[in-house]
Amino acid sequence: MSDDFELDTDDLKRRMDGAMGNLRTEFASLRTGRASASMLEPIMVDAYGSMTPINQVGTVNVPEPRMVTVNVWDKGLVGKVEKAIRESGLGINPQLNGTIIMLPIPELNEERRRELGKVAGQYAEHARVSIRNVRRDGMDQIKKAKADGMSEDDQKFWESEVQDLTDQMIKNVDAALETKQAEIMQV
């Protein structure tokens, strides 16, 4: 009976990769003093009676390194898009030019850079916790199989597989955090 046990490491890896993907998305929304279309992704606009992502009411472009533009398709939504950007907490002051909203990206000061570095650290810690939760699920499956008659050698093998996968993913999170913090602190 115990010889049939096969831990779905692909599922565990997929779930851990999901945590990494989420971390990359959160990192992309952090402003580093450089313009990026992804920094507007979390912004929702009250359009046509529902909250709509900003990229579904206009085209987001990055024409130059310190400028993001939003070309709003519906002239009636320009004010709502501008309001959503102002209230987003990005610290950017939109400038109107017809249906185009220009967002000049100001230089970050040292204090703001440190704050963003701490936020990046929090995002990384959330990713680590998610990865550890997936690890715990895998270990629970192994313990259940052990109770069902799995040999101790098989148990140790599977536990080391799950731990190796976890260690690799935590290294990836740490590397991504280091890269992001260096990007944030770069003047």
Q: 93-105, pLDDT tens digit by residue?
A: 889 988 899 988 8
Residue 2's pLDDT band (cuts 50, 70, 90): very low
pTM: 0.67
- Is pLDDT of 141 > 80? yes
Lowest mean pLDDT among 7-11, 33-37, 62-66, 110-114: 33-37
Q: What are the start-end ranges of the E strands in 15-64?
A: 44-47, 50-53, 58-64
CB-side exposure of 104: number of CA atoms within 13 Å?
Answer: 6
In this structure, CATH architecture of domain 2-28+109-185 = Orthogonal Bundle (1.10)
Domains 2-28+109-185 and 34-104 alike in fold: no
Q: What would the DSSP string read from start to end of 93-112?
A: --EEETTEEEEE-PPPPHHH
CATH architecture of 34-104: 2-Layer Sandwich (3.30)
- 161 within 8 A of 5, measured Cβ to Cβ: no
What pLDDT, in 10s, does the model give residues 72-96? 998 989 999 998 888 876 777 889 9
Measured CA to CA, the distance from residue 158 to residue 3 in angstroms comes to 13
Q: Which residues are CB-neighbours of 171 under 8 A, at least 6 positions away?
A: none
What is the domain partition of the chain in residue ranges?
Answer: 2-28+109-185, 34-104
